Structure 1
Amino acid sequence: MRLEDQLAALADLGLPLAAGRTVDELLYSWPREAYERKPFDQLLFTLGCAVEAEPWDRWFCDRAWHFDTECVRGRGSYVTLARRLSRITGRPDALTDLRDHVDLGTEEAWLAYTADGRRITWPIEVRDDWADLMVVGYLMDELEHGRSRFHVRHNGQAMTLFYLDTDAAERLNTLTGEETVAPFPG
């Protein structure tokens, strides 16, 4: 299936290329054959990534994020994670006053934020540089609204997260012929 046809099908499901993103930028990361050999496989992965050329921090899709769970480096790691989750919900300011403390040496960590006027602080379990998926789940619960939910496509230690309503997720699974995405366990 042509890359352009895959993009059109995903756009119909609520996963369009972000404004200003192009097929040429997709082809900068991977050759056309990688996208077309097994339709949707490489494209769904790449939609969660940032463009691999300057200017940086331009995402291929506003409703997807490729989340490498081995991402905790220290202070700011959970703030970044919370901001990226907020971005794919289309509510980048849903969590305010974000602060975290991460000390890998003493294994002390926490995340604090304000949501809907409530100040919330979560203790974080420190396991080397692995994200605490329980806290990730709490953030997702906080951010989900309306009929849309976080759906996950596993990729080893990483996962691509999509923010879709249940109908779109089911249609995506039908389109790909397999259970491509599932609700994030939480």
Structure 2
Amino acid sequence: MELETQISRLAELGLPLAAGRTVDDLLHSLPRDLFERRPYEVLMSLLGAEVEREPWGRWFCDRAWNFDTECVHGPGAYAGIARQLCRIAGRPDAFTDLRDHVDLGSGEAWIEYTVDGRTRRWSAEVHDDWADMLVVAYLMEDLERDGWRFWTGDGGQVVNLYFLDEATAHRVNGLFTDRRPLVPVLGGAG
């Protein structure tokens, strides 16, 4: 299936390429035949990645993120995770007064922020440079609302996250016959 057709269909379903991103940006990362031999699968996995050429810091899709869970290298790591979750939730300013502390040597880590007028502070377990997924779940829970939630179809070190409502997630799942379906990260309906 032609790459442009895949892009168009995913855009119709709520996973468009971000403004200014192009087919050429995608093809800079991977060859066209790979996208077209494995329709939607390769494109879905790349939606949450950064464009691999200048200008840097651009994401392929505003509703997706490839979360490398082995990312806690020091101060700022949990704040960075929180900012990415806010970005794909479409609420970049949802967490205010955002700060964290990570000291791998002493085994101490925490994140603090204000959301919807409530101050939150979560202590994180330190396991080398792996993110504490319970803390990540708390961040997600504070962002999910009005039927919109975090979905994934993957596990392991890199987790492809998408922020969708249930109906859209089911329509995206309908594009695949031999791929693990998207499921809500925090459980519940799926």
Place the TM-score, normalised by the shorter chain, in its bin: over 0.9
Partners in 2 of 1:130 and 1:29 — Cα distance?
26
Q: Which residue of 2 aligns with 1:47?
A: 47
Contact kept in structure 1, 2:150 and 2:186, CA below 8 Å: no
Q: Once the two structures are aligned, what percentage of the paired residues are identical?
A: 58
Amino acid at match of 2:92: P
Partners in 2 of 1:2 and 1:145 — Cα distance?
35
Name the stretch that deviates more: 93-102 or 146-155: 146-155
Amino acid at match of 1:96: T
| RMSD across aligned positions (CA) | 1.0
1:64-79 equivalent positions in 2, closer than 5 A: 64-79=64-79
1:132-151 equivalent positions in 2, closer than 5 A: 132-151=132-151
Partners in 2 of 1:117 and 1:39 — Cα distance?
43
- Structure 2: which 5+ runs fail to align? none
Q: Which runs of 4+ in 1 moved over 3 A?
A: none
Partners in 1 of 2:109 and 2:157 — Cα distance?
21
Q: Which residue of 2 aligns with 1:100?
A: 100
C-alpha deviation, 1:119, in angstroms? 0.9
Q: Which residue of 2 aligns with 1:10?
A: 10
Amino acid at match of 2:182: V
Task: For residues 43-89 of structure 1, give each alpha carbon's deviation from its aligned partner in whole angstroms, at most 9, with x where no partner exists.
Answer: 01110001001111101000000001001110000000000000001
TM (norm. structure 1) is: 0.97
Q: Which residue of 2 aligns with 1:181?
A: 182
Amino acid at match of 2:184: P
TM (norm. structure 2) is: 0.95
Q: Which residue of 1 aligns with 2:81?
A: 81
Partners in 2 of 1:127 and 1:155 — Cα distance?
18
